[in-house]
């Protein structure tokens, strides 16, 4: 039975400097390709990614998730602050576990959740400060609490009408998030007391809402959306094209 290790490959992959054994489901056969030059740098991950897979500061550099991956486990890359640059979630992935990428502050750019994903668990991208915009695929039905909380660089957001549940603080403490395009009905966005507001302490000022009146929105300035007051709601007339 073969085992997969994290480490540096050298001499045309003849030798391997062992750091620590990669344990967990799916590691009976090689699932990882490592960069040949820098110790600990991921080049590609194949297969499903189990819970608490990396969760270490030894993992760094760009991350490429292969199309054989269907699920990303709980806390799979949590606290991997050394991961850098843009990354793509392939359309083979159907679920993203709780805190899967939490506090991966080095990940940057525009994040697209593909149409294959049906749920985004609590805290999945919490504290990913480098993310700038977010588009959520049209098969996602639930966004967990604090899923994108504390993403201080997030400026744009598009939520499709497939979303029926948005958890507390899902986009809380995102100060640069000023505009959101929301196709989901108003009732799906928690607006109640402390602990339930999806947009608490965000920078939200403007919401474009699909079929606004029919979906329970009140048009105009001074609205409260997900616990954030003083928001202007505009009818999103050219859905799904963003103005």
- Averaged pLDDT in 10-residue chunks for the chain of 243 residues: 38 37 38 50 73 74 85 91 87 94 92 94 96 93 95 94 93 96 94 80 97 97 95 94 87
Secondary structure of residue 187 in the 3-state scheme: helix
Q: Find the distance separating the first CA and the last CA of the chain, reported in whole Å.
A: 55
How far apart are alpha carbons 203 and 162 in whole angstroms? 24
Q: The pTM is what?
A: 0.81
Residue 49 has a pLDDT of 84
Residue 50 has a pLDDT of 81
Residue 158 has a pLDDT of 93
Q: Which two tokens stand for residue 14?
A: 């003849």
Strands, E assignment, 165-243: 165-166, 179-182, 206-210, 220-225, 228-236
- Contacts for 233 with CB less than 8 Å, ≥ 6 apart: 207, 209, 212, 217, 218, 219, 220, 223, 225
189 beta partners:
none
Residue 166 has a pLDDT of 94
Residue 87 has a pLDDT of 85
Residue 63 has a pLDDT of 82
Contact between 169 and 200 under an 8 Å Cβ cutoff? The reply is yes
How far apart are alpha carbons 41 and 51 in whole angstroms? 19
């Amino acid at each position: 039975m073969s085992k997969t290790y994290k480490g540096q490959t050298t001499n045309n992959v003849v030798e391997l400097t062992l750091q620590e054994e990669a344990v967990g489901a799916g590691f009976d056969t090689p699932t990882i390709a490592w960069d040949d030059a820098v110790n600990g740098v991921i080049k590609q991950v194949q297969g499903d990614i189990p819970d608490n897979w990396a969760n270490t500061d030894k993992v760094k550099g760009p991350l490429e998730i292969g199309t054989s991956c269907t699920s990303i486990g709980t806390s799979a890359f949590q606290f991997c602050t050394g991961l850098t640059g843009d990354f793509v979630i392939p359309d083979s992935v159907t679920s993203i576990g709780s805190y899967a990428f939490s506090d991966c502050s080095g990940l940057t750019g525009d994040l697209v959740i593909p149409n294959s994903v049906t749920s985004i668990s609590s805290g999945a991208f919490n504290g990913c400060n480098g993310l700038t915009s977010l588009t959520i695929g049209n098969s996602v039905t639930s966004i967990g609490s604090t899923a994108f909380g504390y993403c201080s660089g997030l400026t744009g957001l598009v939520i499709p009408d497939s979303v029926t549940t948005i958890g507390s603080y899902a986009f809380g403490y995102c100060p640069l998030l000023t505009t959101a395009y929301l196709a989901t009905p108003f009732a799906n966005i928690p607006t109640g007391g402390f602990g339930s507001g999806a947009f608490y302490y965000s920078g939200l000022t403007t919401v474009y809402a699909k079929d606004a009146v029919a979906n329970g929105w009140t048009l105009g300035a001074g609205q409260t959306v997900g616990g954030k007051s003083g928001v202007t709601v505009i009818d999103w007339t050219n859905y799904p094209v963003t103005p």
